Copies of this chain bind each other. A is one copy, B any other.
């Protein structure tokens, strides 16, 4: 990668001032810097984030997931419009590590949220691209901080609901909303294990017309199922509601539930505790990713791992011994150099 500096970059201070003043054009340009893979941009990005950091954090961060076909973009449009009507400024981001492989994030197609996209009080940004979920999550996380500094007081982060990205979104939001359909069973298999247990709110979407009865039945089933599951550390019992995004039914209730949650977790201290925990965990996730990179990025290691894997499957070497063997090699090369250096 060349250390080429794009001509059209502003000064760090200009980005910071622009973002803090809520200038949407500068916000977008700052996010472009965050998303860039150029070395010079990476330095600039860190300085921008550092500058806006004290002004970030003042939003409620809502994760939204659901399998394709559940009506996510329609729901986000209706929900976003409701929030704007209530006087909020809404930023809509997404995490979708698959988007660079042209599978496409729903937000890539802004036209699906035409009305919302045209409002000054809403800011829609499709998913950053990247090779690793960790990289994409970093970019979305920093974009979220920028949006908060620019005055957006509700941040919606959507995820496609078919991979690991839900966990990443859950790890950076205050509230997690799962969209589902009635007539479950088959549809459910698109939802990965563990996602259900993350949900603070399950919304049965498309509860309109002939679907109302089925949706009510599904609501009761999910509510019963969720009650059987362990209580979250937040002290909040997950709620199941029905909605029809396309008819704007049940949308205000979703927001009411979120406010109710916020009141609870502000009072019992979980909100702040969870935020701090998430921020610190964000650092450790990055550290652990980098450590793995340091080890697994080596060519020799890669070919040796593949040999060890074969030996393990053939019961020729135990997993513990295999790990010890390769780590010893890594450490020895490290320590020998250390030693020679000191002589």
Contact = CB atoms under 8 A, between A and B. Distances in A.
A49 B318 contact: yes
A120 interface: no
Nearest to A309: B280
B320 A189 contact: no
**Size class of the A contact interface (CB-based, 8 Å):** 35 or more
A304 to B, nearest CB: 11
Given A291-B292, A309-B283, A312-B283, A188 B229 contact: yes
Contacts of A193: 197, 229-230, 232
A38 to B, nearest CB: 16
A295 B286 contact: no
A333 to B, nearest CB: 9
B197 A50 contact: no
Given A312-B283, A313-B276, A327-B290, A138 B224 contact: no
Contact of A231 (B138, B141, B189, B316): B189
Interface in A31-82: 46, 49-50, 53-54, 56-57
Interface string A303-330: 0000011001101111111111011000
Contacts of A322: 283
A318 B50 contact: yes
Interface stretch (A18-26, A254-262, A335-343): A335-343
B228 A188 contact: yes
Nearest to A278: B319
A192 interface: yes
A323 B134 CA distance: 13
B53 A316 contact: yes
Nearest to A184: B228
A132 to B, nearest CB: 14
Interface in A160-218: 184-185, 188-189, 191-194, 196-197
8 contacts: A50-B317, A138-B320, A188-B231, A193-B232, A225-B228, A286-B320, A337-B338, A340-B341
